[in-house]
Chain A
Amino acid sequence: MAEITYLEAIRQGIWEEMERDSKVFCLGEDIGVYGGAFKITKGMLERFGEERIVDTPIAESAIVGAAIGASFAGMRPVAEMQFSDFITCAFDQIVNFAAKTRYRWNAPAPLVVRAPSGGGIHGGPYHSQNPEAWFVRTPGLKVVEPATAYDAKGLIKSAIRDNDPVIFFEHKKLYRAIKGEVPEGDYTVPLGKARLHREGKHIAVITYGAMVHVAAEAAEVLDREGVSLEILDLRTLLPLDEEAILASVKKCSRVLVFHEDTLTGGVGGEISARISEKAFEWLDAPVVRLAAPDTPVPFSPPLEEAFLPNAAKVIEKARWLAGY
């Protein structure tokens, strides 16, 4: 097995799917000659040609709309948003067309919308957002966000093979920062299944994406204080793996629900509600959430730092929970 980056893992996954199935094709801005803003599609134009690596005008609504239409005709489109912040330009096509078409008239739309998301790169309000919650409240979509290279490859493959529209968030900060052992051949990671990133005894941290690694950093420190964190990496946000969430909650009895997205209306609210509905008797403390404050993502370094969750903030919440 080779050690590759999160970015390379996604690239390999798409590449292998394109080799495997001629119905798979990619469309998006600057994905051809340039290989994409983050180089996910690098080399694909040369290998697969212009019909399968389609450089589009700046037109997110048309990109997703065309993906939906192509999926009706039997194709397996993978649409790239240059930044997840621009996915809003395609909002109507995603939430009103793609998400509802199977339910309304039994017309599945098997497509993937890939969207690089997340902050910590000095991108300011429009190159840092985590827009997953807008889609998690849309029945008919699936929403995925891998945290590791292994999962990134396995999940993009599952997303491409899935018969429903999948929004696939890729955390920009993980692209080159995270490496992992990834098998070269074919394998998939199932949608809708969480993964235990770290076993622990005292506090269940339920999280996903880049925050898995932030939680792991905090766990090392807390270990030395005798506080053991369990980290559940959700991997798929819609549908949620309720079984895995409840299992960790029941095991630890103290819970921290944690995401980089802002607090109000974030995925964490839904998770907390389910925990209090279905595992209330197992809880030894209130369900605690850690998320970014309810503001846009600011640009200036001291503001961005104050905005983003980090290990110190996890430690603070965990200490409070441990002492409750």
Chain B
Amino acid sequence: MAAMKPVGPVLVQGATAPSENEGDLSLKQEEIARRGHYFMALQREVEDRIERKLYRQGKILGGVYVGRGQEAICVGAGLVSEQEDWLYPCHRDLGLYLVRGVTPREIFAQYMGRVGGLTRGREGNMHMGDLKRRIVAIISAMAASVPVATGTAMALKFQRSRNIVFNIFGDGATSRGDWHEGLNLASVQKAPVVFICNNNQYAYSTPLEKQMACEHVADRAVGYGMPGEIVDGNDVMAVYRAVKRAADRARAGEGPSLVECKTFRMTGHSAHDGGDYVPDHLWTEWGEKCPIVRIERVMLERGWTTREELEQVHARIKREADEAIEWAENSPYPDASTLTEDVYEGSR
């Protein structure tokens, strides 16, 4: 445990590939980079379509929250997860769904309130889950998932499963009582769960210093007797490695960990918010740390890819999005007569 004391924030420019002798990584570095890049770019494209096209065209109604600039966190964590592990994403973690195999078709249909979405139109935007794929939907109340993720982890431990739980939440969520109750219970129970904080330095308009008086979210871990690690949240390889360490620990029966990913929200809070309260220099500074551009640089430098190949990937993703939107728009709206179904088992 002592080996994982909080370290200072790692805010380096280039994404960092691990040195050859670092730990046992279940995926080869090149593979992490390649898959990480694909899923980050896919998340970016799908969310750009949602926020900048479909929402503005009035085809998507209600709230729209995207993870622009923060994709490395959910994607890095997703790549660590095994197919039978449980995922508890939050509202900026579309990449986690994509890694698990949720399709852009289902996502667009979800946002448009069609039957082809994961919630058949009952819910909108990121309020989606799929029990078969072991993805648990958030409720809106921030941090409410934390005790719930803990309970799933306790059950997995009880069942002697090798599987673990990944729970992502924002910096603001860590102010809520549910967050603290959940972490404490998980730690006391040595529940196999990895708590991952997307610290994008804002909660809606509220900057971090009004959210908490300690410097790092990871500082909170010590109070619950679990390791807290800080990682560069714009570096998919670094996120992968930190989450992998925490996941290995959970799988080995050593209990939960808290991984704090430092990043920045490259949008307003939601599609209706321009984020005017954010000082200009932060947009510029963090705009240069785009996790997709950074991993592309690493891949090119290491000779894992070429410009042409990257362009092909982006072109393929664009086609995938086009096709998925068309599919979603052809998915019907739910029939009003289904309104009262499924309030209870078998209810009509």
Contacts and interface: CB of A to CB of B under 8 A. Distances in A.
A124 B123 contact: yes
A302 B125 CA distance: 16
B101 interface: no
B121 A298 contact: yes
A34 interface: yes
B124 A122 contact: yes
A305 B113 CA distance: 13
B336 interface: yes
B287 interface: no
- Chain A's interface size range is 35 or more
Interface in B108-139: 113-114, 119, 121-125, 127, 139
Interface string A96-127: 00000000000000000000000001111111
B172 interface: yes
Given A29-B204, A59-B177, A295 B340 contact: yes
B195 to A, nearest CB: 17
A58 interface: yes
Tell me the interface secondary structure of chain A in the complex.
Answer: loop
Given A89-B141, A300-B113, A59 B176 contact: yes
B9 interface: no
Given A295-B340, A298-B339, A57 B175 contact: yes
B28 to A, nearest CB: 40
A34 B277 contact: yes
A302 B204 contact: no
Contacts of A34: 204-206, 277
B29 interface: no
Interface residues of B, number: 40
A37 B333 CA distance: 30
A280 interface: no
Interface of A: 29-30, 33-34, 37, 55-62, 83, 85-86, 88-89, 121-127, 293-296, 298-303, 305-307
A306 B206 contact: no
Nearest to B114: A300
Interface string B166-181: 0000001101111000
Contacts of B284: none
A84 to B, nearest CB: 12
Contact of A30 (B177, B204, B340): B204
A293 B342 CA distance: 13
B339 A307 contact: yes
A123 B336 CA distance: 17
Tell me the interface secondary structure of chain B in the complex.
Answer: loop
Interface in B200-222: 203-206, 210-212
Contacts, number: 122
Contact of A55 (B143, B176, B210, B337): B210
Contact of A58 (B62, B125, B142, B343): B142
Contacts of A121: 62
A7 to B, nearest CB: 15
A299 B62 contact: yes
A242 B119 CA distance: 43
B338 interface: yes
B322 to A, nearest CB: 23
Interface in B135-191: 139-143, 172-173, 175-178
Contacts of B333: 300-302
A126 B127 contact: yes
A124 B120 CA distance: 13
A58 B139 contact: no
B189 to A, nearest CB: 23
Nearest 8 pairs of A and B residues by beta carbon: A300-B121, A300-B113, A126-B140, A57-B175, A34-B205, A306-B336, A122-B61, A299-B124
Nearest to B172: A58
Contacts of A33: 205, 277
B345 interface: no
Given A298-B339, A302-B333, A303-B121, A126 B113 contact: no
A67 B340 CA distance: 39
Contact of B212 (A57, A123, A125): A57
B141 A306 contact: no
A293 B339 contact: yes
A302 B336 contact: yes
A51 to B, nearest CB: 14
Most chain B CB inside 10 Å of its own CB: which residue of A85, A89, A298, A299: A299
B205 A30 contact: yes
Most chain B CB inside 10 Å of its own CB: which residue of A33, A300, A305: A300
Contacts of B142: 58
B207 to A, nearest CB: 9
